[in-house]
Amino acid sequence: MMAIPGVAVLALIYESSTSLVYRGHNEQNNQPVIIKLIKEDYPTPEELNRYKREYEITANLSLLDGVVKVYKLQQVRNSLAMILEDFGGESLKIFMASQKFTILGFLTTAIKVAETLGEIHGKNVIHKDINPSNIVFNPATGQVKLIDFSISTASNLENIPNKNPNFLEGTLAYMSPEQTGRMNRVVDYRTDFYSLGVTFYEILAGQLPFPTTDPMELVHCHIAKQPVPLAEIVPEIPKAVSDIVMKLLAKTAEERYQSAWGLKADLESCLFQWQTSGVVSEFPLGSQDISDKFQIPQKLYGRQREVETLLAAFERVAATNNRGYRTDNSQISVIKKESKSKKEIPLSVLARGQHKSRSEMMLIAGYSGIGKSAMVKILDKPITRRRGYFIWGKFDQYKRTIPYSAVVSAFSELVRQLLTESEAQLAVWREKLRSSFGQNGQIIIDVIPEVELIVGAQSPVAELGPTESLNRFNLVFQNFIRVFCQPEHPLVIFLDDLQWADSATLKLIELMMTDEATQYLFLIGAYRDNEVSPTHPLMMTLETLR
């Protein structure tokens, strides 16, 4: 057990992948303390900075009764230890393993948690990891405190990138839809309400709303599947209490509570009824739910027809049977979006004529800033449901001389996602990629260096003339793309600002979309139609495809 100057370490009480938590006491005054220590003997600078940030956020909240107090951050050899108060509590996770809350006990505890959340949000802190392990409860005194601000942010808004579900910050079973990075929405303080809803659900029902352990399936459940209402699982739970929890579990932040004080008021109404009459009658929720923060809705408005067109195209591409599939199932579509009047423009749908292929290309045309990229992110839900891959690349008007820049950027991100998967899964990808490359793997590594981390070093390729080299590259890259275009995981590629695409990329797009061997590929392009003419290379490529 590690020795910490001035602190007697008594027993290990919790171990995670990054931290060790001990009980101990201060050797000077015998005061009981909790010691939270970085698990690694030689932590990285990022881990050290994370601990320092957690200490600073917790210290700034230490005046709140509902937040565990932090005494100091102490250097321990090459690592850091955080010394926190020990008020004799245990996590709700441990408490629930042996005991069950009564309705009265739940409402009393829930009100205290809601009040603490309101105070934390008032300090512009988002916890981002509310779950039973991070709510500490002392049954003897009734004290309830929040702990673990390791991934908290002292900010009103945060963008979450699309990551492998195994490497998302937070606890996936309790994570809000927007915190998964697959909702095209920024994360604000209301993410904590969803996580709190999952926690309340587990306390009352004795199970999670989505009990699956598969990470991708769990992400899909959070963003698209409605949980069974609490009152249907445990009939003795008052309908009003069930409705409060279900409101917290709304998929979009706008449909949840907008303040912790509104939530607290509704819980207090339930508690008053329960204490005075032993029953809780239904009442309108949120009557006192007034937010002190101005929030612009993140919903996409006025694009229903275009969204339905995109979703239908993806479903056609991802379909694994031929029933109901049109003869001209591989097509090119153009959605035009008018920037001034916002009127819908009829779609121009043109069949490509490759009857055997399941690949489609769709273009979205419109002025800069009109919302082309935002609309494409709507596909996150169905892509997640189909376990597909969504990659994104953007052309730069100052990098037109760099061939394949956006395509390489998109696939580099995809390879980085693969590198976060298990060793067993990486072995599968290694075999697939090597098989697709043959003796030409170095060609892909030259443009996407991360691939070498999966397949290992490759043999040098033979020198060819310019035309032959280009043809060889296109052939190898097509084989590379096909690895990811499979019925079990269709591929969606979004290329933004196509008006700045280089000629090599346009040729590659033409080859991809005329290759009958490429299946389950949905290519989406966005371009500014006011910046292209009929003789623009992009328009000429589209005409060739038509």
The answer for 426, left when phi > 0, alpha when psi is -120 to 50, beta otherwise, is alpha
Rounded CA gap, 430 and 27, in Å?
Answer: 54
Rounded CA gap, 60 and 57, in Å?
Answer: 5
**Confidence at residue 247, expressed as pLDDT on a 0 to 100 scale:** 96
**Confidence at residue 196, expressed as pLDDT on a 0 to 100 scale:** 97
**Which amino acid makes up residue 430?**
R
Q: Tokens 């260096």 appear where?
A: 449
Beta bridge partners of 14: 21
Judged by DSSP in three states, 87 sits in coil
**Confidence at residue 2, expressed as pLDDT on a 0 to 100 scale:** 64
Strands 70-76 and 79-85: antiparallel
Please, what's the largest Cα pairwise distance for the chain? Answer: 88
For every residue of 164-202, DSSP letters joined together read -GGG-SS-GGG--TGGGT-SS--B-TTHHHHHHHHHHHH
Helix (H) / strand (E) containing 93 = helix 92-98
Q: Pseudo-torsion of CA 158, 162, 163, 164, nearest 10°?
A: 140
Kindly state the tokens that stand for 474. 């296109």
- Tens digits of pLDDT across the chain (546 residues): 567 788 888 888 888 878 889 999 888 888 999 999 988 888 888 889 989 999 999 999 988 999 999 999 988 888 888 999 999 899 999 999 888 999 999 999 999 999 999 999 999 999 999 999 999 999 889 899 999 999 998 876 665 555 555 557 788 999 999 888 877 678 899 999 999 999 999 999 999 999 888 888 898 899 888 999 998 999 999 999 999 999 999 998 889 999 999 999 999 999 999 999 999 999 999 999 887 777 766 677 777 888 888 888 888 888 865 443 333 444 455 655 554 444 433 333 333 434 445 788 989 888 887 778 778 877 777 887 788 888 889 998 888 788 889 999 999 988 888 887 778 888 999 999 999 988 888 999 999 999 999 988 888 888 888 889 888 998 999 999 999 998 888 999 999 999 999 999 999 999 888 888 888 999 999 998 888 898 999 999 988 888
Work out the angle at residue 472's Cα, subtended by the Cα atoms of residues 470 and 476, and round it to the nearest 5 degrees. Answer: 120
- pTM assigned to the model: 0.74
Rounded CA gap, 474 and 464, in Å?
Answer: 14
Nearest alpha-carbon partner for 190 in 117, 133, 119, 246: 117
